[in-house]
């Protein structure tokens, strides 16, 4: 198996029980959840005020920055 490049991205084609809709995301954020924008750094068509920005290829080295005591909402395309 080859190693993917830094820009490689495969969207999930299957539904996940972990996906939430926008209303649930707003409720979680209002209750203190952290919003993390995990789109690639070259995708800046929409800014998310208050969101932490961590590109997918940076996630492993930045895990220590994420809180372990509150929900984390990941936003991707």
- The tens digit of pLDDT for each residue in 2-37 reads 444 444 444 555 566 778 888 998 999 999 999 999
* CA distances, 8 to each of 27, 35, 68, 73, 75 (Å): 32, 23, 28, 22, 17
Rg (CA), the chain: 14
How many whole angstroms separate alpha carbon 31 and alpha carbon 14?
28
What's the distance, Cα to Cα, between the start and end of the chain in Å? 25
Residue 58's CB is within 10 A of a number of other CB atoms, namely 15
Query: Which is higher by pLDDT, 3 or 44?
Result: 44
What pLDDT is stored for residue 56 in this prediction?
Answer: 86
pLDDT exceeding 90 applies to what percent of the chain? 30
pTM (predicted TM-score): 0.71
């Amino acid at each position: 198996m080859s190693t993917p490049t830094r820009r490689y991205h495969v969207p999930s084609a299957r539904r996940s029980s972990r996906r939430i809709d926008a209303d649930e995301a707003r409720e979680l954020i209002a209750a203190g959840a952290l919003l993390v924008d995990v789109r690639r750094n070259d995708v800046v068509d929409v800014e998310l005020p208050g969101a932490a920005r961590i590109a997918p290829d940076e996630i492993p080295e930045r895990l220590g920055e994420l809180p372990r005591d509150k929900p984390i909402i990941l936003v991707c395309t």
